[in-house]
Every structure is written in C-alpha cells, then in structure tokens.
C-alpha cells in the first residue's frame, strides 16, 4: 500500500453541482452585509476552463461537510483533484 502526505491547508479542485453553488452562496451571505453580497454568477465565474473550482481543502470540508450524508443530494463530482503540496507543506 502506498501513502501520500497531504496537508488540509492545501488545495483541492472540484466540480460543483448547481445545488452546491447555491449552498456556497448562502453560506457566504450569512456573514456578508446585504449591500455587498455577490451574485451566484460571481461564484460560478471561479470555475476554470474544465469546470473545476479551487478550494482550500479545510474550507471545502467546512462549507459542504454538514450537507453531505448517506442518501443526500450530490453536491459535487466525487472524482476530485488534489493539488500536489510542496514538501514544506507536509509534516512527516
């Protein structure tokens, strides 16, 4: 078995569903005054040319963790990309 070190402060690339975009915006809106809240289009504009959005892994877990459960709605493609951390980001 092979193991890789991965720091939860590193980045992850995911493809979100429409429902996930709505949840993301709702979460951000809770801490943002009404007059400066971003549109859903703002969040979707963060997608790269392949449809991936980059998050810090810990933030992704914080944001979507409470909404992930057995039988729940699919919020993102389960095939995610981990951005390879640099050695100084990994504690061995």
pTM: predicted TM-score of the whole model, two decimal places:
0.84
Across 40-57, average pLDDT: 96
Asked whether residue 89 carries a pLDDT value surpassing 60, the answer given is: no
Exposure class string for 30-53: b at 16+ Cβ within 10 A, else e:
eeeeeeeeeeeeebeeeeeeeebb
Structure tokens at 27: 């979460």
What are the sequence ranges of the domains in the chain?
A: 15-84
Round the average pLDDT of the chain to a whole number and report it.
91
Across 30-49, average pLDDT: 95
Across 32-38, average pLDDT: 93
């Amino acid at each position: 078995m092979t193991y890789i070190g991965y720091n939860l402060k590193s980045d992850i690339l995911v493809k979100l569903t429409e429902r996930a975009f709505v949840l993301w915006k709702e979460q951000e809106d809770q801490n943002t005054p009404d007059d400066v809240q971003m549109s859903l289009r703002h969040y979707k504009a963060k997608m790269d040319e392949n449809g991936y959005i980059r998050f810090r892994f810990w933030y992704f877990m914080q944001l979507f963790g409470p909404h992930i459960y057995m039988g729940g709605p699919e919020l993102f493609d389960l095939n995610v990309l981990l951005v390879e951390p640099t050695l100084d980001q990994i504690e061995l």
